[in-house]
Amino acid sequence: MADKNTGTMSIVSHLEELRKRLLISVLAVGAGAIACWILYPQILDVLLQPYCSIRGEAGEGAVFGSGCELLVTDPLEPFTVRLTVAAYGGLAMAMPVVLWQVWRFIVPGLYGRERRLAVPFVASGILLFAAGCGLAYWSIPRALEFLVEIGGPDLISVFSPAKYIGFVIKMTMAFGIGFEFPLVLVFLQLIGILTPAALRRARRYAIVGIVALVAVLTPSGDPFTLMILSVPMWMFYEISILIGALRERRRRRSEG
């Protein structure tokens, strides 16, 4: 709870607030996971679509099976796959709640004018996450084609459910989280840790860091995926500088 005299919060209050926000977020993820467990057959059909789409494009005999089959090699694998889909799906479904809880945790440290950014912050976070996941889903067939064909015609790809679903989920989450990059930069400027001038000076290092980060986050490692995520993140970096500069200009005008 905030101190009425100073407007600040004690360490104990911060910890209690953090526990509350984490509990709500965990409950939201749990509820989303239960929903995804029930809707697993429909979700699996969506996740398999990129694999099915390369069947006629990767070349005859390049991929094992005559349909969209995945080869199960472990009796526990179907259960593990369903659990994985439910867990990550629950996180994706709970993203609006999680972002709102993040905002509610940090808002006591912001000024009154900045506190009014709650709705734009959460809405932007949801839209950016969805856009990143959508871009990943679109790029997965291209990444799969590259990975299947790069080994040459003598290799036949055999995908297991755990490996394939893990690949799709990691790609989707990497893109979704990567698209939250501008929110982080704008927020760090709001609380005064970063400035537009500092971001401009670090531009060269940031570009190298973005490419390195994307190479680590994306499981495929192919040049197409590297480019398709690195370019938007670099654009977001530039947009965050512009937003910070406009905010500083508006603040100087109000103070003048």
pLDDT of 6 above 50: no
pLDDT of 59 above 70: no
Q: Nearest Cα to 243, choosing from 173, 170, 188, 164?
A: 188
Count of domains forming the chain:
1
Q: How far is CA 11 from CA 17, 20, 78, in A?
A: 10, 14, 45
Percent share of the chain, pLDDT over 90: 34
The HSE-up count of residue 106 (CA atoms within 13 Å, CB side) is: 17
Does a structural domain hold residue 254?
Answer: no
Residue 109: DSSP 8-state:
G
Does a structural domain hold residue 256?
Answer: no
Does a structural domain hold residue 230?
Answer: yes
Helical spans, DSSP H, in the chain: 11-38, 40-53, 77-93, 95-106, 112-115, 118-149, 161-178, 181-190, 196-201, 203-217, 223-255
Residue 135: DSSP 8-state:
H
pLDDT of 89 above 90: yes
Q: Say if residues 75 and 90 touch (Cβ distance below 8 Å).
A: no
Does a structural domain hold residue 243?
Answer: yes
The Cα 73–Cα 158 span in angstroms is 11
Rg (CA), the chain: 22
Confidence of residue 30 (pLDDT cuts 50, 70, 90): very high
Does a structural domain hold residue 255?
Answer: no
Does a structural domain hold residue 219?
Answer: yes
Reported as a single tens digit per residue, the pLDDT across 34-48 is 999 999 999 999 999
pLDDT of 135 above 80: yes
Identify the pLDDT of residue 112.
Answer: 63
Does a structural domain hold residue 170?
Answer: yes
Domain hosting residue 151, numbered range? 11-248
Q: Say if residues 89 and 33 touch (Cβ distance below 8 Å).
A: yes
Does a structural domain hold residue 5?
Answer: no
The pTM assigned to this predicted structure is: 0.80
pLDDT of 154 above 60: yes
Backbone angles phi, psi at 166, to 5 degrees: -60, -40
